[in-house]
Structures are given as C-alpha cells and as structure tokens.
Structure 1
Amino acid sequence: MNRTSTHRITICTSCRHKGDTCQPGYELIKRLDAAIKAAGDTISEDFEIAGTACMAGCDRPCTVAYYASRKASYLFGDIDADQDIEALVDFAKQYAVLHDGWCSSVDRPGKLRKTTLARIPATIIALEDRQEPIS
C-alpha cells in the first residue's frame, strides 16, 4: 500500500531526565518508530515520526506531539520510552480515525489520559489573493 504521511508525531530530543544528562527523546523516537512499523495496517494512516530540539516541556520530559492537517493537535508530557510505547501506538490508531482529531481525556489510552499538556484546536490557514503588492 502506498500512502502518503499526513499524520505526524514529534518528540523533543533535548528533554533530559531531571538531574541527569540522559536525553530520552532519541530512544523514544527509535522505539516508537519500530512499534508503529510493527503495528502495520492496524493503524489506518501512516505517521511520520521525527525529533525536534525543544518543545518547552522541560519540566515534564519526554514531550510528544501528535498533529495532522485539519485536526486538533495534542501535546503529551512525562512520557517514558520504557513504559508508554503501547499507549502511544494505541493513540496513533485512535487519532488516525478521528475526523477532527478531537477526543476527551477519558477516551485516550493509558497514561495519556493524565499527561496531556495541551489540546490545540485545528486551524485552517487561508491565503488571500492580493491585487496590490504588500509593502
């Protein structure tokens, strides 16, 4: 099946365990990528998984964002690469089929019910045709 990735998961790579130099985001990216690939067709959409330098969730590492065009976006904190992979994969399955991305906290799997830092409503950016140049 040849699908284009319209869903994304971004993981903070600069988060550190408190009082430690460990950066768990890199390990989380590797484990989540493998788990998403292993889930195969049980996830109805492809997910692009990437890291980013900072997501301003430093007090609650690891920080993970789910987003897609015209869907609500989610930011989760306190994610553990050893314990939370199943919940992250289950949320990917759920998020893929939500038309607008909207779900309540009680519908989110496992620990994600209580570690949501933000749910951001979907935005649609419209470009205006301008007759005169912008100065």
Structure 2
Amino acid sequence: ARDCAGCGITGMIVPDLPPEEAAPLKEACDKYGVDLIYLVAPNTPPARIELIAEETGGFLYLVARVGVTGARSEVLQDTRDLIARVPGKKPKAVGFGISTPDQAADVIRAGADAAIVGSACVDLIARGRIEELEALIGEMKKAVKAAGKAR
C-alpha cells in the first residue's frame, strides 16, 4: 500500500480477497490513502452486497458475469439486474466481458457509473496494436459520454 501510494496508485483490487479476511491489507491501505476495492458478482446475496458496499473503497466493482474475464459479445440481463439491485452510495463500475463501445454504453444506460475494459485492451497491447487501442479507448469514451447524457 505504501509503494502504491508512492507511485500515485489510488486503489487496488484483490479479486479473491473477501472483506472478512482483508483487515491487515485494509489497515495498510487506509494508512496510505489507497482504496481497497471489492467485487460484487451477479450471484452475490443482498446481505453480502450491503457488507461489500459498506467496506469497499472508491467504487464497487460489479462483475458482469459469472466465470472468467474476457471479451464477450453482449451484456447480459443478469448484469442489468445486478446494477439495479446494488445500493447507490458509491459509484458502480462494471467489468468482466465489457469489450465494445456498445457494451460500455449499455452498462451506463443501465445505471452504472463506469465500464471497466481490461481484456480487450490487454489483447491489443499484447499484439502490439497500440493505434487500435487508442482508437478503441476513444470510441469507448464517446459511447460512455453519450450514454450518460441519455440517462
């Protein structure tokens, strides 16, 4: 947490760390002003969502689907339902399978505050397609802005 803060990192996600087991890391994050961000999956029960929403720092990371991350062709109804049932005190960011501008806009229209696009970006970087990455990010930004205004 100290090294993160020293490098300008303001938050961290440890996907397999539940709040009940995070006390030492959370204490270090709090000490250095780094948000510890927890994930909420589509199958997370309501009482647990409340706990995670209370404990998370920065924003809630809503997992768009059960399974592994990676590009998908559509945003599922389960994702829309999850966005709707998570309390609105902290910003909601949706990730896991968001890979196109249309999908990013779709989660914003459904009530999310942000779309997290990881695998599509990592794939383009791995293939050395930086210009395509820049274009994708630009398209995502335009789509998200337009969807936010449409809400």
Q: TM-score, normalised by structure 1?
A: 0.26
Structure possessing the higher relative contact order (Cα contacts under 8 Å, 6 or more residues apart): 1
More strand by share: 1
More helix by share: 2
Q: TM-score, normalised by structure 2?
A: 0.24
